[in-house]
Structure 1
Amino acid sequence: MRWDELMDRAGGVCEFCGASEGLKAVDVTDQDQALLCSVCRGGGEAEAAHWRCLEGAAWSAEPGVQIAVWRKLGEIDAAWAVETRANMMMEPDVLARAEGQAEVVHLDAHGMPLAHGDTVVLVKDLVVKGAGFTAKRGTAVRGISLVLDNAAHIEGKVEGQRIVILTEFVKRK
Structure 2
Amino acid sequence: MSKTGSPKWHEPVLVEEVLSFLSPKPGVLICDATCGTGGHAEAILEKGAELVGLDKDPRAPELARRRLARFGDRVRLIHADFRDLRAALARLGIKEVQGILFDLGVSSLQLDSPTRGFSFREEAPLDMRMDPSQPLRAAELVNRLPEGELARILWEYGEERYARRIARAIVRARD
Q: Give the structure-2-normalised TM-score.
A: 0.25
Task: Tell me which of the two structures has the higher relative contact order, counting C-alpha pairs closer than 8 angstroms and 6 or more residues apart.
Answer: 2
Q: Of Structure 1 and Structure 2, which has the larger fraction of its residues in helix?
A: 2
Q: Name the one with the larger strand percent.
A: 1
Query: Based on CA coordinates, which of the two structures has the bigger radius of gyration?
Result: 1
